[in-house]
Structure 1
Amino acid sequence: MIKKLPSGRWQVDVLLDGRGSRRIRKRFASKIEARRFEAYILGQKEKTKDWNPSKKDNRRLIELVRLWFNAKGVHLKDGERRKRCLDSMAAWLGNPVARNLRPSEFLAYRSYKLQEGTSEKTLNNHLGYLNAVYNELQRLGETDFDNPLRNIQMIRLDEIELSWLTTEQIGLLLETIEGFSQNPHVHLLTRICLATGARWGEAENLLPRHVQKGKLTFVNTKSGKSRSVPVSSELFAEIQVHLKEYGQFSFSLSAFRRALVKSGIQLPKGQAAHVLRHTFASHFVMNGGDILTLQKILGHSTINMTMRYAHLAPDHLKDAIKHGPMLAKCWQQSKKQESRNEKSP
């Protein structure tokens, strides 16, 4: 508002955001100057928030974790587990004001956990979980500050050794299970995984309705997508009879691990039943199977995961001879010999 004072000067009186907000008053010799100042003030108000700064976000990390869980985590298969992990991290960090969490604090947590024996892959997951909280809440407009951990890099991991069982080891493992294990399911579950590339948990979740028309349909998979894989008529019939007798498979992973140890087969650290999936994939490729078909059978969301097995393909091994550097060397030697032959009388 502009008004003329008894003194003859002109006064600008502006409430930036209505009653109770910051007030600006200034006097000018002329009405034109007063109007220019008023226009300037109102223009600045539109361009910046400095006139009405928002209250600082002092919510603590555990509160943001709860917000994230209600918005996103509740819809994830491992959402509850992630929330427990995030709550544990927040407690270790002292439940700081979320926007004030410093990278050095997380790095101290990571260093401590490494010394405790937590794997580097697990700690990369922990960083990913925290990043997801900050990034998702910012995307949803629940927070207006940047992710304070955005510049922390994941720990670089060595490529995991891809182990698989030979035909002889497969026979030894099955014989050990048959002669050693008292669990009625573990032998059949092992053969299902070897025949289909299924994860152990996927095989355990099979019910009679998932065994139809010569195929096994795996549901509640890691990717969230169901997939069907055909099996031999003999194995199909055996699975039907088994499920008719027992109704479903019970938890049998511990029995498998005990049998694996009894067999004496040595595997890289951290691998047990998953070697059955690697074994199916490796033999599939070595026997001439197509990588794209393998991707569909295994249920990989991207071809990159399936390409880990490409080096086992027979054609791939032939190409090592056909296109390798020694071929170029032989070609050069051949050309030199041809040149010498042309020059000789």
Structure 2
Amino acid sequence: MSSTSTKTLSKRIPTKHSGIYYKEVQQTTIDDHGKIKTKIIDKVYIIRYRDNGKERLVTLGKYSEGIREAYCKTKRSEFITLAKNGELPPQIEKQKKKDITTLDDIRQKYFDDKPYTPSKNNLELKYKKHIKPALGHRNVNSIESEDIIKLRKQLEAKSKAPNTINGIINLLSAIINYNIKHYKLNIINPCTHVSRAKADDKRERYLDTKEINTLLNSVKDDEQLDLFVKMALRTGARAAAILNIRKKDFDLARNTVSLKDFKGNKTYNGYLDDALKEQLTTYLKALKEDDHLIGGGKEPITMSKVGWKLRPILNRLFNKGLDVTDRKNRVVIHTLRHTFASHLAIKGTPIYTIQKLMNHVKIEMTLRYAKLTPDQGIEAVKGLYQ
């Protein structure tokens, strides 16, 4: 048995007249054999204008109801005149009485539903700091690509790094997409066609042996910071993985620690040297099995708390005179992971072993360290056919 349904598409299509748009009404038919046919059967006309700096959108009606572009042009002029006199058209008054869904509203749904990860708190802080002040109060239906571009330019003016800017826009996009999928938010994501900031992801900086000793000497009086830095340098684990290590994750008899890579959602082993093992043997005695290594509590501490202490030290020791956007040369917390892999390569560790120790999903991620491996090609060629 065939069935037919209609819906108004969300895309707003501009006409040749300024401020006049229409949305297409699509009819979908499924025949007795399950074959689907769609066609456009009508238009819904919308006008757009500004009233004291605020964007107004008014739906006037359908083409099938006799609404034409000329009529829309006349009504738009009327509404602009009303706006100058401080009045609102009846359609707007009716819209004002409806519940308005703001970006803050859908953001709440996104974070309430999102399961805990080490990055969840950081994402919420990112929203409150960068997105909420600019767009949080806005009716989500009124947010357009131009608003996202404006936000991006504001962040660029504050000298935010390209990856930071892209992370903010991607978070906004994720919030909107989640509500489109799970809460039937009937809009087109305005982030979709916004170009991201150009970023150079080739972070090349790593610490040499002298710099490592300088850093360790600078954090030695802060037990928590000292442990964090040593775990990062000895295992190459991501910061989130280190902050989520519990006492029960250690097997000191085998010099191993179980690490959770939240980025790849996978657990793997890190390995401890004898010096760190000796330090941990004493430190862990005061902890219960479920206590976290860093912080010592039942709940992991946030990355912001570690960063608040460690970033100023890294800046003082290694980043003097460097621009905040210089990703290649600045030392950041992630540099500790990069240092671990770089020194493995320098010592001639096979690239596939480095991949395993770094828990890289793809070998391409590890191959950037290959240029640091000693050139042993001449030794392989010598006496090849003898």
TM-score between both structures, scaled by the size of structure 1: 0.63
Alignment match of 2:266 (pick from 225, 228, 234): 225
Equivalent residue for 2:102?
A: 60
Please, which moves more after superposition, 46-55 or 304-313? 46-55
Q: What CA deviation, in whole Å up to 9, does each residue of 1:290-339 have, x standing for no partner?
A: 33322222233443433332222235x859xx9xxxxxxxxxxxxxxxxx
* Map of 2:187 onto structure 1: 145
Query: Which residue in 2 is equivalent to 1:32?
Result: none
Which residue of 2 is the match for residue 111 of structure 1?
153
Superposition map of 1:1-345 within 5 A: 59-71=101-113, 73-86=114-127, 89-93=131-135, 95-140=137-182, 142-174=184-216, 176-177=217-218, 181-200=220-239, 202-203=241-242, 205-212=244-251, 213-219=254-260, 221-245=262-286, 248-250=293-295, 264-265=317-318, 269=324, 271-315=331-375
Measure how far apart 1:154 and its partner are: 0.5
How many percent identity over aligned positions? Answer: 22
Which ranges in structure 1 are unaligned for 5 or more consecutive residues? 1-15, 18-42, 323-345
SS in 1 for 2:369: helix
Decide which structure has greater helix share: 1
CA distance in 2, matches of 1:284, 1:104: 47
Q: Deviations over 1:155-179 (max 9, x none)?
A: 11123442112223334444x34xx
Does the residue aligned with 2:270 lie in a helix, a strand or coil?
A: strand
Contact 2:117 2:262 in 1 (8 A): no
In structure 1, distance between residues paired with 2:153 and 2:243: 37
Given the superposition, is the C-alpha separation of residues 295 and 148 from structure 1 closer, same or farther in structure 2, using an over 3 Å criterion?
Answer: same
Given that 1:286 and 1:314 are in contact with CA atoms closer than 8 Å, whether structure 2 keeps it comes out as: yes
Is the CA contact (8 Å cut-off) linking 1:223 and 1:301 kept in structure 2?
Answer: yes
Q: Secondary structure at the match of 2:191?
A: coil
The one-letter code sitting in structure 2 at the alignment partner of 1:128 is N
CA distance in 2 between counterparts of 1:216 and 1:109 reads 42
Secondary structure of 1:168's match? helix
Aligned in 2, Cα 1:86/1:230: closer, same or farther, shift over 3 Å? closer
Q: Deviations over 1:256-275 (max 9, x none)?
A: 5566567x455865534433
Alignment TM-score, normalising by the size of structure 2: 0.57
Task: Name the counterpart of 1:329.
Answer: none
Which residues of structure 2 form unaligned runs of 5+? 6-30, 32-37, 45-60, 63-94, 296-304, 325-329, 382-386
Distance 1:93 1:261, change over 3 A: closer
Aligned-residue CA RMSD (Å): 4.2
Q: C-alpha offsets along residues 237-267 of structure 1, whole Å, 9 cap, x if unaligned?
A: 33222222566443766665566567x4558
